[in-house]
Amino acid sequence: MSSERIIDISDNADALADRAADWFVAELKGRPGPIAVALSGGSTPKRLYERLARDPWRSALPFERIHWFWGDERIVPADDARRNTLMAKAALLDHVPAPERNIHEVAAAPTSPEVAAQAYEQALKAYYGADALDPDRPLFDIMLLGVGSDGHTASLFPGKPALTVRDRWVTHSDPGLDPFVPRVTLTFPAIASSRAVAFLAAGADKRETLSKVFAGADLPSAHVEAAGPIHWFLDKAAAPE
Ligand SMILES: O=C1O[C@H](COP(=O)(O)O)[C@@H](O)[C@H](O)[C@H]1O
């Protein structure tokens, strides 16, 4: 299986966020029933979240029906600024009519990463209504991902055991990059259960990594599959030649 790759290059990080916000709204337009979105941490997605919190994007989204999940989380105390959840709330969820019951956070410390991963998998299974992923019924409608300068995505870091986990939807991982705090992450099979995936990457420090990813290097972000296309929203500084 190899997902279609669609590359969208903008002049700068702000234009990239505008493009991604337009895509996000278009992707959900007319979609009936509950909608599951997996959010990413990282510097580039924040700009997208800020846009979704304001018009014209905000008023085009069915917040009552959108369920918010995270592709990965840092297992630190709930009020620690390194939490991906805090960033998404500050940029988006605190400013939109997102029902509390639709916000599915990963547990914070002092919960252990093992227990947090198990609990998150149970929460995903409860939402999905089954214990096994059906390829004809993707778990996520939209999966947002970042890519680190080492090629990691979510908290799937090069060389770490989490990369090989196929029998779980969620696992825990040690980080390969700062911040060096325990992580909980979706596994590759859970990420692949997505109707659409969008990577967001901006800045010259991502360029060399992206060249390797697009050349098929053995890096985590190159191994992401999806039920539908994989979009890459990049700015000119990040885009390889
Ligand atoms: O640690 C993380 O890093 C990646 C990439 O972040 P960026 O700031 O380099 O864009 C992010 O996708 C992930 O959610 C986060 O936990």
Interface predicted TM-score (ipTM): 0.90
Domains identified in the chain and CATH numbers: 35-235 (3.40.50.1360)
Q: What is the CA radius of gyration of the chain?
A: 16
For residues 16 and 83, give the distance between their C-alpha atoms in angstroms, rounded to a whole number: 24
Centre of ligand 1 from the C-alpha of residue 128, in Å? 26
* Atom 5 of ligand 1, nearest CA residue: 148
Do 156 and 202 contact (CB within 8 A), yes or no?
A: no
Q: Considering the entire predicted model, what is its pTM?
A: 0.96
* Ligand 1 site, residue 155, Cβ cutoff 6 A: yes
* Atom 6 of ligand 1, nearest CA residue: 42
Tens digits of per-residue pLDDT, 133-147?
999 999 999 999 999
Q: What is the pLDDT of residue 42?
A: 86
Please name the helix (run of DSSP H) or strand (run of DSSP E) that holds residue 25, with its range, or none.
Answer: helix 13-28
* Ligand 1 site, residue 42, Cβ cutoff 6 A: yes
* Ligand 1 site, residue 41, Cβ cutoff 6 A: yes
